[in-house]
Structure 1
């Protein structure tokens, strides 16, 4: 018998290690809002060639380029498990293909404001009482 025979779990730690605490209702609501926003961002930006979101990682002080599907999976995992796992970043991503969350949010706000302005300035049909 070797020391490997007693190993448990993916990192050979105790199998009964407690997981993260569950998300609070406010945290869950925030993640659900992020999922909804992400879908809007993807709908607006993917047709322009943007592949996903760039995230500043506080653990390694580097930018991580996360495609739309992986970002969605990370948020869903956060809802389900209270944490996200580590994922392999894309190989040699082109930074021009990714935008920050703030950029995506501003872009979506700009599109919404332009649509609202367009709706406000469209000529409206005449009403019989206008005569």
Structure 2
């Protein structure tokens, strides 16, 4: 079972005995390879970037960042809190929160991860 996050929509099949997901195999966390020290270090660096730029960009109306999903070839939008929670989960070796699209999301208020990295670099140079 994934970690619930308040920025995400509720599961429409929660507590439904006819949930079609019951036909699927359970994702057992033991089926995934353990996170490497390099991945933990990268998540720590990413968390530092988010902590560095979040305050400035939030004041400018930015709600978070988006990434292209390799699985579905669509953009996924993460609020600042969800970004932080995913990175902290990775650092702790836990499963990251589910990151389905929130309904009626104003996608124009999110920036790409590459933009965040460039913004953080610019802040270091200033």
TM-score (norm: length of structure 2):
0.70
Alpha-carbon distance, 1:18 to partner: 2.3
Give the gaps of 5 or more residues in structure 2: 1-20
Which structure's residues are more often helix, by fraction? 1
Alpha-carbon distance, 1:74 to partner: 1.0
Matches within 5 A, 1:1-131: 11=22, 13=25, 18-113=30-125, 115=126
- Equivalenced residue count is 105
Give the gaps of 5 or more residues in structure 1: 1-9, 116-131
TM-score (norm: length of structure 1):
0.67
Runs of 4+ in 1 over 3 A off after TM superposition: 10-17
CA distance in 2, matches of 1:94, 1:29: 32
CA RMSD of aligned residues (A): 2.4
CA distance in 1, matches of 2:26, 2:119: 46
Larger radius of gyration: 1
Change (3 A) 1:18 1:108: closer
